[in-house]
Amino acid sequence: MLAWYRRRRRPLPWRRPGTGPYHTWVSEVMLQQTRVETVAPRYEEFLRRFPDPETLAQASEEEVLRAWAGLGYYRRARQLQAAARYLVAEEGGELPRDYESLRRLPGVGEYTAAAIASIAYGEPRAVVDGNVKRVAARVLGLELEAPDPVLHRRARAWLQGYHDELAARRAHGNAAGDLNQAVMELGATLCRPRAAECPRCPLRRDCRSARDGRALVRPAAGRAASAEELLLEMLLARRGEAVLLARRERGWNRGYFEPPLRLLRGRAPAAAALEREWEIPGGPGRFLGEFRHGITRYRLRVRVREWTGLPARLPGCWRWLGPEEGPWSTLARKAAALPGRPA
């Protein structure tokens, strides 16, 4: 398994020589619920702007959110900065070197602490994500649903057994970090949800699913949570490249700048509160277009109209911002990119 990984692993930026614990931490936080293809370029941009915990700790929240824009789940960015500030204040700017100490950092849970401890420091501790659970279910022949806590426990015990064996052998190099990444890499490239390339798999001799041909029914398909459909209206005012925006202080996209929104159809407390957050001068004009967007457990359909009847003096919360200012929310950028624009 380790030999396969060292030969076949993808050349991802967080695997380059010279990456340290801080780089590992940033990459693991970014990769939570976000695809590798989306993370890779943003990871490098983020590290150019914030190359160490001290720089991240000293930045404004607005700067951090601007660098995080497009990755979604923005609470991760705030927790990352909160943890950086803790490190600077309490740990001399250095990440702790063991799992238990890492768990004390804001926003660092079981998965992230285990990933940093193993990849950055070589601690023999299993890291279990969706890829690992799928590989374990197929190797062990488990037809449990992926969210089942029993599958999580079985996958962790299975992977921890390999870690314990490597530790007993006193394996050279960072075998613990490579082993965790090897299983995740296997799940991402060969043992995928709708495809299993068993003849190429380094675990095929030990895999029940490779023998009985039932890889694609393991883990069992659970009932997907249905996303709620919401219909929203957004008002867009432009002045050259600038758009009239206000900083959202609560609910979705907190900390980002956005045009006014109101809920037209659907039930969601966070959406229903949108139109009450600001004093909105003027009103809707001609239809400019619409777009769709997913956020948490909601599917949004956003109708964009020209914002008309603006007074000469606007309330203090509104600002004309260019595309490099802000940070703009993804909803704001999608609206501004529509081909229909105010005259």
Of 190, 192, 137, 191, nearest in space to 159 by CA: 137
Phi, psi of 158 (to 5 degrees): -60, -50
Measured distance CA(164)–CA(262) in Å, rounded = 55
Q: What is the pTM of this model?
A: 0.81
Q: How far is CA 225 from CA 73, 220, 221, 271, 298, in A?
A: 18, 15, 12, 19, 11
User: What confidence tens digit (pLDDT) does each residue in 179-238 have?
Assistant: 999 999 999 999 999 999 999 999 999 999 999 999 999 999 876 667 888 999 999 999
30-88 tens-digit pLDDT = 999 889 999 999 999 999 999 999 999 999 999 999 999 888 888 899 999 999 999 99
DSSP, collapsed to helix, strand or coil, labels residue 22 as: helix
Q: What is the DSSP letter of 146?
A: T
Residues of the chain with pLDDT > 90, as a percent, come to 72
Model confidence pLDDT, tens digit, residues 121-143 = 999 999 999 999 999 999 999 99
Q: Are 275 and 252 in contact (CB under 8 A)?
A: no
For the chain, what percent of residues have pLDDT higher than 70? 95
pLDDT by residue (tens digit) across 250-260?
777 888 899 99
CA 76 from centre of chain: 8
Domains 2-123 and 228-336 share a fold: no
The reported pLDDT for the residue numbered 118 is 96
Distance CA 188, CA 194 (A): 11
Q: Where are the beta strands (DSSP E) in 79-164?
A: none
Nearest residue to 97 (alpha-carbon basis) of 32, 25, 168, 169: 25
Q: What is the CATH number of domain 228-336?
A: 3.90.79.10
Pairing of strands 191-192, 298-308: unpaired
Q: Is the pLDDT of residue 274 over 70?
A: no
How far apart are the C-alpha atoms of 247 and 318, rounded to whole Å?
8
Q: pLDDT averaged over the chain?
A: 91
Task: For residue 28, indicate whether it is catalytic.
Answer: yes
**Cβ pair 215, 196 in contact under 8 A:** yes
Identified catalytic residue from 28, 123, 258, 306: 28
pLDDT score at 343: 38
pLDDT given for residue 297 in this prediction? 80
User: Which stretches of 170-212 are DSSP H helices?
Assistant: 175-189, 208-212
Mean pLDDT of 261-268: 82
Structural domain boundaries of the chain?
2-123, 228-336
CATH code of 2-123, in short, is 1.10.340.30
Q: What is the pLDDT of residue 342?
A: 43
